[in-house]
Structure 1
Amino acid sequence: MRRPTKDTARGARKISRRALIVGGLQAGFMGVLALRMRYMQVEEADKFRLLAEENRVNIRLIPPARGEIFDRNGQPIAVNQPSYRITLTREDAGDVDEVIARLSHLIELDEEELNRAMTELRRTSPFFPVTIADKVSWSDVTQIAVNAPALPGVTPEVGLTRTYPMGSDFAHVIGYVGPVSDYDLEKIEAPDQLLFIPRFQIGKVGLESKLEDELRGKAGARRVEVNHVGREMRELDRREGIQGQNLQLTIDHELQNYVQARLDGESAAAVVMDVHNGDLLAIASAPTFDPNLFVRGISVSDYKALTENKYRPLAAKSVQGIYPPGSTFKMVVALAGLDEGIIGPEDTYYCPGHLEVSGRRFHCWKRAGHGHMNVESSLRESCDVFYYELALELGIEKISAMARKMGLGERFDIPMSAVASGLTPTKEWKRRARDAEWVIGDTVNSAIGQGFVLASPLQLAVMTARIASGRAVSPRLIKTIEGIEQTSGDGESLGLNENHLRQVRKAMFAVSNNRRGTAYGSRIIAEGMRMAGKTGTSQVRNITAAERAAGVRSNADLPWERRDHALFVDFAPYDDPRIAVAVIIEHGGGGSSAAAPVARDITLQALYGEDPPLDAYPTKDRGRIEALQEKLRKYRPDAKTDGSSRA
């Protein structure tokens, strides 16, 4: 049946409208798409070009060479040496265990280092090289090169490693570097991206740590093309880093070496300081250790040997150790008494061998007493009662004020680890720190450098330098940074009466050069080289009344850790002071018998710049000194013997 013409026309119009709507929608969609494509290709072109470039190109950091460290004469102390290492890339190796097994047949692999490497291999990207063996020899490299086809993923590389050519001589000063640890990163608020490079090394202790920013340098960078999984395809360009700044110390490596050798076998410390500018010419602690052991990570057995040694070889006793200064503190009390006008040079106190204070008897080291003593004789013979009496008139506040003026109780700003401030006590300090009131017995104990008074060997050297110079000399360890001279340690005048200083210096001269002086046995007899010094012995145990009545036990009869500390300080030459020296022998016994001979030898070595002539020593000592010099030369293969002296 044929549809009517009217219905056909209506259907055609309906189809036309639908086609028009669909066509319009399609045209609109295509228009929007075209506009979006134009926006992305034209307006956003730079943005997408940058994104594409970033996906294709990576920036890799290049570690800078670490700044090197030299002594005052330009001798290297901490340097960077080329070293060969073996790396393994897990992606190229295939069966890692099999490759390492083959490698172990060719070269010796350290088990601890290999275990660290395996851990690192598991947690790093498969295409990132990991060090398997460090500091390998050239023969090991050639062995690997010859067998390269059997060692897929194994690559010999050359890099720089920190080395300490002086070994243990500067361990407590320089410290050492080591790989960055998680603990290191936690301590840094905004860590440098360099620190995330595997096995990147930073200073851990000592000067290496304190001047890390100066020594580290600035990273370089290289732009590399990588594929979609991050594997490096080729290097596009490179910008080398900036080496860290080189440092020159004030220390003389020959003198430092001698001091370490002279302290060998003791738990001790010594400081040698220029009295004019504060330069530290030697600053040593014994026993010491080899910092090279720490550079790549010390073994458990080596570390255990260091930490279980009762002499504490890891401690920088010269700056960290604080001890009762004993009778070396008497110069401070004498100066305070003279400065306050409480005593004059010829004024005396009587010493019967003890002093009764508040029902307690304070003894002098000389049981029978010294009789009438003035400033010079009291220092010369180290009378305790003289200083008990003087301290009671002075009071602790004036004593501590003079001690601070002489450099005690001050934390000096030198770049070594854990520099101690010591303690010059006051009444307020005791209330705050001990929640107790100051008593008169505290003052009496402080008078002879016992009780609460504490000082480091560095501070005692500063005290001695200030007495010798009359100036507020401060210690300086860094001579130059990148060739730029650093601020001198010479200070302003102490403002003390020169006659009072002269009186104390004269008394110190008598200590070493008068037959009744406590250090007469360790005197220097060479003209123009004589020293002025002071012995000190600080107790580490209480002596009971019963023991004193029965007779005080000698140090030789006591266990090592209960023996007294032995101290000695000096400056020389007396007529024209150049150096100040401080020595402490832990649990060494008496200052005159244990510390004074060591300080005398160090003083002469510093003055002459070589083994001093035997005629600088008393005749009775020359045979022993000659044998000692011969023994110490074994520690100092480069020691000068041509008779020249350092200016």
Structure 2
Amino acid sequence: MRRAPKDSAESHRLITRRGLILGGAQVGFMGLLALRMRYLQVDQADQFRLLADENRINIRLIPPTRGRIFDRNGAVIAENVPSYRITMVREEAGDVDEVIARLSRLVELDPDELRRAMRDLRELRGDTPVTIAERVSWDEISRIAVNTPALPGVTPEVGLSRRYPNGKDYAHLVGYVGPVSDRDLEKIDAPDQLLLIPRFQIGKIGLEAKREDLLRGKAGSKRVEVNATGQVMRELDRKEGQAGADLQVSIDNNLQSYVSARLEGESAAAVVIDCETGDLLACASSPSYDPNLFVRGISVANYKALLDNKYRPLPNKAVQGIYPPGSTFKMVTALAALENGHASLNDTVYCPGHLKVSGRRFHCWKRAGHGNVDLHRSLRESCDVYYYEMALRTGIENISNMAMRLGLGVAYDLPLTSVAKGLAPTKEWKLANKGTDWVIGDSVNAAIGQGFVLTSPLQLAVMASRLATGRSVTPRLIKSVNGVEQPTGHGEDLGLNENLLREVRKAMYAVSNNRRGTAYGSRIIEDAFRMAGKTGTSQVRNISSGERATGVRKNSALPWEQRDHALFVSFAPFDNPKVAVAVVVEHGGGGSTAAAPVARDIVLQALYGDDPPLDVYPEKDRGIVKKRQEELRRARPHTAGDESDRA
């Protein structure tokens, strides 16, 4: 049936209207799409170009070269040496376990290192290079290079590793570096991005840790182009970082090596100070350890051996160890009494072998006593009773003030780990720390360096240098930074009465050069190098009245841990002091027998710069000294004029 013309016209109008509406909608949509495309392609072009570059270009840090450390003469004591390592990038490797399995068939992988590496591969960004093995040989690197197509994501690299050519000689001073740990990061509020690089090494103890700010340097960066999987296609550019500063320490390499060897076999420490500048010429603690073991990652067995050693090789006894100074403290007590007018140079004290104070007997080391003694004889023969009397006259406050004036009870600002402050006790200190009042017996004990008094070998060496010069000599360890000389520790005048100081020095001279002196057996017979000193023996156990009645047991009859500490302080030459030396031998017995001979050898080595001629020793000692010199030369071959270690 044919549609009526009227109906056909109406249908045509409807179709036309719908077409117009649909066409208009399409045109509108296309217009909006065109506007959006223009917005994205023109207005937002720079932003999207940047996002594309970020997906295509990675910026990676370049670790800086760590600053080197030299001795005062330019010998290298901490350096960087090439080290081959194998790294892996997770995103490039694909199946990490499979690649590791292939790699292990080519080189031997340390299980501990591999576990750390696998943890880093899981936790770090996929494009972060993670060290799989360090210090691999050239042959192993060659095998990796040949098999690169079968090891996606694996790269053999050449890096730098820390090395300490003098081994244990500088372990306590320079310290060592090691990988950044979680504990290290916890101590830093906003850690440098360098520290987040896997296995990046920082100073852990000693100078390496305390001057990390100078030694680390500033990181560089490089821009690399990567593909969709993160594989590096090419390096676009690089900005080199800033190498760490080179440090020159005040230590004399040959002297440090000699002192370390001379202390071998003892639990001991020795410090040598330049009286003019305050430079630490040697600072050794025995026994020591090889810091290179820690750089590589010390084994559990080796670390346990260090911890279990009764001689305690890990602490730096020279600056951390604190000991009762014993009779080496007597110069402090004497000057406190003389300077404050509580005694004169001509005063004498009668020593019957003890002094009774508040109903208690304080004994002299010489049971029969010394008779009448003055300042000179009391120091020469180390009479205790004289100093008991000086303590009663002057009081602990004056003694404590003089101790600090001479450098005791002070924590020196040195870039070393745990520099001890020691203790020059006062009444206020005891009340605050012990909760009891000071009693007169405390002053009597302190007068001879016992009781609460504690000092370090470093402080004793400072005291000797101040007695020798009359100046506030202060120890210095860093001599220069990148060639720029650092301030010395020459010091100002102490303001002590020069006449009194002169008499104390004369008495110290007699200790080493008078036949009745406690260190006469360790004298130097060359007039130009005569030594002034003071012996000290500090008790580490209480001696009961019963033992005194039957006879005090000799140190040789006691277990090692119960024997007295042996000390000696000195300066030389007497007429023109160049060096001050302090030696402490833990549980060594007596200062005159255990510490003074060591100090004499060190003094001569420091003054001569090499093994001294035998004729500067007493004739009776020359055979023993000659044998010892030969043994020590064999023990330290790396100091025998090797110019290859010079900067």
Q: Deviations over 1:342-373 (max 9, x none)?
A: 11111111111111111111111111111111
How far is 1:161 from its partner? Answer: 0.7
Q: Check if 1:465 corresponds to 2:465.
A: yes
Question: For residues 14 and 436 of structure 1, what CA distance do their matches in structure 2 show?
Answer: 112
- One-letter amino acid matched to 2:392: L
Q: Check if 1:576 corresponds to 2:580.
A: no
Compared with structure 1, are the counterparts of its residues 154 and 33 closer, same or farther at alpha carbon in structure 2 (3 Å cutoff)? Answer: closer
Q: Secondary structure at the match of 1:228?
A: coil
- One-letter amino acid matched to 1:545: S
Question: For residues 147 and 60 of structure 2, what CA distance do their matches in structure 1 show?
Answer: 30
Deviates more, 1:29-38 or 1:356-365: 29-38
How far is 1:8 from its partner? Answer: 8.2
* Corresponding residue for residue 196 of structure 2: 196
Asked if the contact 1:610–1:640 (Cα under 8 Å) also holds between the matched residues in 2, the reply is no
Once the two structures are superposed, the pairs formed by residues 254-269 of structure 1 within 5 Å of their partners are: 254-269=254-269
* Corresponding residue for residue 645 of structure 1: none
Question: For residues 281 and 509 of structure 1, what CA distance do their matches in structure 2 show?
Answer: 23
Q: Check if 1:356 corresponds to 2:356.
A: yes
Question: For residues 536 and 352 of structure 2, what CA distance do their matches in structure 1 show?
Answer: 21
Question: For residues 96 and 37 of structure 2, what CA distance do their matches in structure 1 show?
Answer: 49
Asked if the contact 1:179–1:296 (Cα under 8 Å) also holds between the matched residues in 2, the reply is no
Deviates more, 1:438-447 or 1:72-81: 438-447
Once the two structures are superposed, the pairs formed by residues 32-431 of structure 1 within 5 Å of their partners are: 32-88=32-88, 107-124=107-124, 128-145=128-145, 154-431=154-431
Q: Secondary structure at the match of 2:529?
A: coil
Deviates more, 1:435-444 or 1:34-43: 34-43
Unpaired segments ≥5 residues, structure 1: 642-647
Question: For residues 5 and 153 of structure 1, what CA distance do their matches in structure 2 show?
Answer: 80
Q: RMSD of the alignment, in Å?
A: 2.5
Q: Secondary structure at the match of 2:272?
A: strand
Q: Check if 1:593 corresponds to 2:598.
A: no
Compared with structure 1, are the counterparts of its residues 374 and 422 closer, same or farther at alpha carbon in structure 2 (3 Å cutoff)? Answer: same
Q: Deviations over 1:211-264 (max 9, x none)?
A: 001101111111012233433232111112211000001000100000000000
Deviates more, 1:219-228 or 1:24-33: 24-33
Question: For residues 557 and 241 of structure 1, what CA distance do their matches in structure 2 show?
Answer: 62
Asked if the contact 2:505–2:532 (Cα under 8 Å) also holds between the matched residues in 1, the reply is yes
How far is 1:12 from its partner? Answer: 7.3
Question: For residues 86 and 59 of structure 1, what CA distance do their matches in structure 2 show?
Answer: 21
* Corresponding residue for residue 437 of structure 1: 437
Deviates more, 1:502-511 or 1:433-442: 433-442
- One-letter amino acid matched to 2:85: R
Asked if the contact 1:610–1:639 (Cα under 8 Å) also holds between the matched residues in 2, the reply is no
Deviates more, 1:314-323 or 1:108-117: 108-117
* Corresponding residue for residue 645 of structure 2: none
* Corresponding residue for residue 478 of structure 1: 478
Q: Check if 1:504 corresponds to 2:499.
A: no
Identity among equivalent pairs (%): 70
Once the two structures are superposed, the pairs formed by residues 548-627 of structure 1 within 5 Å of their partners are: 548-627=548-627
Compared with structure 1, are the counterparts of its residues 150 and 193 closer, same or farther at alpha carbon in structure 2 (3 Å cutoff)? Answer: closer
Question: For residues 6 and 102 of structure 2, what CA distance do their matches in structure 1 show?
Answer: 95
Unpaired segments ≥5 residues, structure 2: 642-647
How far is 1:15 from its partner? Answer: 7.0
Q: Secondary structure at the match of 1:634?
A: helix
Asked if the contact 1:179–1:297 (Cα under 8 Å) also holds between the matched residues in 2, the reply is no
Q: TM-score, normalised by structure 1?
A: 0.94
Question: For residues 134 and 5 of structure 1, what CA distance do their matches in structure 2 show?
Answer: 95
- One-letter amino acid matched to 2:230: G
Q: Check if 1:546 corresponds to 2:546.
A: yes
Question: For residues 54 and 341 of structure 1, what CA distance do their matches in structure 2 show?
Answer: 80
Q: Check if 1:534 corresponds to 2:517.
A: no
Asked if the contact 1:611–1:640 (Cα under 8 Å) also holds between the matched residues in 2, the reply is no
Once the two structures are superposed, the pairs formed by residues 18-37 of structure 1 within 5 Å of their partners are: 28-37=28-37
Compared with structure 1, are the counterparts of its residues 206 and 235 closer, same or farther at alpha carbon in structure 2 (3 Å cutoff)? Answer: same
Question: For residues 88 and 639 of structure 1, what CA distance do their matches in structure 2 show?
Answer: 41
Q: Secondary structure at the match of 2:259?
A: helix
Compared with structure 1, are the counterparts of its residues 434 and 32 closer, same or farther at alpha carbon in structure 2 (3 Å cutoff)? Answer: farther
Deviates more, 1:32-41 or 1:473-482: 32-41
Q: Check if 1:487 corresponds to 2:487.
A: yes
Compared with structure 1, are the counterparts of its residues 147 and 279 closer, same or farther at alpha carbon in structure 2 (3 Å cutoff)? Answer: same
Question: For residues 623 and 100 of structure 2, what CA distance do their matches in structure 1 show?
Answer: 60
Q: Deviations over 1:406-430 (max 9, x none)?
A: 1111111111101111111111111
Q: Secondary structure at the match of 1:553?
A: coil
Question: For residues 463 and 601 of structure 1, what CA distance do their matches in structure 2 show?
Answer: 20
How far is 1:126 from its partner? Answer: 6.0
Q: Deviations over 1:141-180 (max 9, x none)?
A: 3444456566665543211111001111000000000011
The alignment of Structure 1 onto Structure 2 pairs a total of residues equal to: 641
Asked if the contact 1:472–1:494 (Cα under 8 Å) also holds between the matched residues in 2, the reply is yes
- One-letter amino acid matched to 1:278: G
Q: Deviations over 1:380-422 (max 9, x none)?
A: 1111111111111111111111111111111111111011111
Question: For residues 177 and 549 of structure 1, what CA distance do their matches in structure 2 show?
Answer: 55
Question: For residues 43 and 146 of structure 2, what CA distance do their matches in structure 1 show?
Answer: 57
- One-letter amino acid matched to 2:404: R
Compared with structure 1, are the counterparts of its residues 53 and 92 closer, same or farther at alpha carbon in structure 2 (3 Å cutoff)? Answer: closer
